[in-house]
Chains A and B, each alone.
Chain A
Amino acid sequence: MLPNMLTNTVLLRTVDRMRKLPEVMLDPQSAPTLDSSKLRSTALAKLKDAGLVRITRYNETAAFLVSPAAIEDMTEKIVGRAGFAEQARDSAPLMTLALSLGVAPGAAFDVLFSGDAGVDPTALIRLLAERAEELDIAAVVADRAGSLSEPTTSLDDFAAELGIDLEVLSQDMAAGRYRAHVSVEA
């Protein structure tokens, strides 16, 4: 905070109220300015009304005045977001189940975030219950078991694709004829 900012009208060039706090925080230079002849009472009145007042000097933002109510509002939002993140994280097993039941990721997200209060796991659970009724669960389990046992590409096949004979390379390594530059330090 600048010294004597609100009483020294030479230092205090402009004062204006800011109604949209996030926008100002993101782009302070876009905020409008006022005439320089505003007094402390005007600034404080605007602060009470708007929650945030930008102080500029020679067209540059020098400081912001923030009302206690605005600070409390921001704090609530930050705490709320932390809770939201925690809820979303707790919903990960449900999302995993939804994906494994063939629910499209977008649809699962839409349902999960459909509630007014943020994450709504009950809506996703309802969707999963409906989905489970539609599916032949035995067939899903059999399909899942099949995909689990289905290997990704083996090294034998891939090395052959690369034109590398694993048997020869293994023998070269064992005999010390080939040694890659490797480090396995933690």
Chain B
Amino acid sequence: MSILLFFLASIGAIVGAVGVVALRNPFYGVLSLVAHLICLAVLFLLLQAEFLAAAQVIIYAGAVMVLYVFVVAYIGGQDESLGTSHGVLRVLTPIFVGVLIVELLIALLGSGLSAVTSKGAKVSTLFGSANQIGDLMLTKFLLPFEVASLLLLVAAIGAVGLARRRVGYGPGDVPFDAATIAAAPPAGTGTMAEASGDRPVAGFRGEDR
């Protein structure tokens, strides 16, 4: 049963990976990567990494891929153009990839480690559960855990800073200078000056103050 599941999941993962590279429309590429990630989660389950499999499906296939889908929809997902300026790269890449596969297989499988061909060490049923992962994360790996949370915060702030709309820098934008700020907005539009009472508004009785 586990052998059948392994072959199904690994074939699905490899087909999904090939789909990401081969499909011309980036939208289909993203969907192919979702299929790949779900197959990978099945492989994680076979390796008794239950918590990691759940995190893979929820965070990766759920949250991160939704981000991709949104950006592809926003950019417009133009198809890959066929012509390339780097013809040399087109020729050399398959050779390089072939050499890389052979090298990796030699390094991983030809190492002569007896443990590689075994089914792995004997582990309890608790191995890889949320219980054990949480225990490790908050004791032995507390520092990496905190650093990772800081990294997430920095990345979120950086992404907001990168993608925000910059007024006055595009072609045909109104320059955002002192004169624009000084020009008062129409009365009663809820500005800070009105809220604080610096600029009284006709008809506003100030009942809630």
The reply to whether chain A is a binding partner of chain B is no
